[in-house]
Amino acid sequence: MSSANRIHWADLTRGLAALGVIAYHVDVPGSSQFYVFVDFFFILSGFVLSRSIGNINSGAEWRRFMLKRLFRFMPLVWMAVAVKVGLTFVGTLMGKPCGAHECQPVLVISAALLLQVFIPATFMVLGPLWSLSVELYANAIYALKFGITRRAMTITGVGIGLALTIASYFVPRYGEEMFDNFHGFARGMLAFGLGLAIRYLPAIKNAWAVIVPASIGVAVVLTINFSDFQPLIASVFFTALIWGFGSLKYESTNQLYVRTATMLGNASFGIYVWHGAIRGTIMKFASIAGLEAGTTSYWLFNLVVLAVVSTLIALFTFHFVEQPVMRWFGNRFSAKAKV
């Protein structure tokens, strides 16, 4: 997306949500509910991609859209999986027996192919990839119209996603990982559909009338435990929040805001993927440094170092991997080309 067409509030919130997921994964006090930021990613992704999906009217356009999503996801996924596996084997060279999932070729290959939805144990290779797996399949399903109008398709998808999400709470838990996969797929279908549905909602004349209560709702969801229904409740407020911001016609031109938002937007995808690959190593360094697990110094070290390192790697891979790949894709598979 060119700088002229960027949605800076989306960049900023996406980046902050990625940092929020890091806080959750290093057990920062008060962040136990921050895992719902993944649902925010789904909704925001659906909102941002709504125009692209709305323009898909043929099989060739659907194939090009999905191919573009694969080129968007896969380079970083493969790099992160390779780094995670590499770091695991470094541990084996130092005398640590490898009983981890990263040492099982079938699971590693499955993770690299984003098959987390179908193979629950694959989740353990690189945790953050489960949501990319869910989003990829949600993209594929929603981008197809199945012979009905796009609006009807979106409404149907939201309904099915809601039904699956509610049903997932009552499905017998034969295996926790299998439940998490079914529940995660249902959440993704619902949240991505809600993001797409925002396109069909009317613009709000007084967007702040929605943004303010939605923000309060988000704050409540992030601080109060609603048990298993946390993502379902969070999605309602996240959707309202994005709907409100999407109705605003004003974008600040303050250079500090624009640069910060752009940087976080560029790095957000990489931050999310890379922090999962290097988290274990950073936490190991914290232990080597003599920091005791559960103490303030321990989680603060993990938070700051993991956030900084993940952001730096993400910015590097954005400029030298993601952008070149997408430029190549744009040149190789133009919108007019048959795919």
203 Cβ contact list (under 8 Å, min separation 6): 246, 247
User: Does the structure show a pLDDT above 90 at 132?
Assistant: yes
- pLDDT above 70 for 173: no
C-alpha–C-alpha distance, residues 189 and 2, integer Å: 28
Global model pTM greater than 0.95: no
Give the separation between CA 8 and CA 2, rounded to whole angstroms: 11
CA 81 to chain centre: 16
Residue 145, pLDDT > 70, answer yes
Distances (CA, A) of 277 to 80, 155, 262: 6, 36, 24
User: Looking at residue 5, what is its pLDDT?
Assistant: 67
Give the residue-averaged pLDDT of 319-338.
84
Give the tens place of pLDDT for each residue, 32-86. Answer: 999 999 999 999 999 999 989 988 988 999 999 999 999 999 999 999 999 999 9
User: How does residue 103 score in pLDDT terms, banded at 50, 70 and 90?
Assistant: confident
pLDDT at 122 over 70: yes
Dihedral of the CA atoms 70, 75, 78, 81 (nearest 10)?
A: -110
| Whether the predicted pLDDT of 167 surpasses 90 | no
Mean pLDDT calculated for residue range 113-123: 86
User: Which two tokens mark 150?
Assistant: 């796009």
Q: Report the b/e string of 307-334 with b at 16+ CB within 10 A.
A: bebbbebbbebbeeebeeeeeebeeebe
Whether the predicted pLDDT of 177 surpasses 60: no
Q: Is the pLDDT higher at 289 or at 174?
A: 289
pLDDT tens digits, 184-229: 899 999 999 999 999 999 999 999 999 999 999 999 999 999 877 8
Please say if the pLDDT value at position 234 is more than 60.
yes
Average pLDDT taken over every residue of the chain: 89
Q: Which residue has the higher pLDDT, 294 or 309?
A: 309
Q: Give me the pLDDT at residue 291, please.
A: 92
Query: For position 2, what pLDDT does the model report?
Result: 47
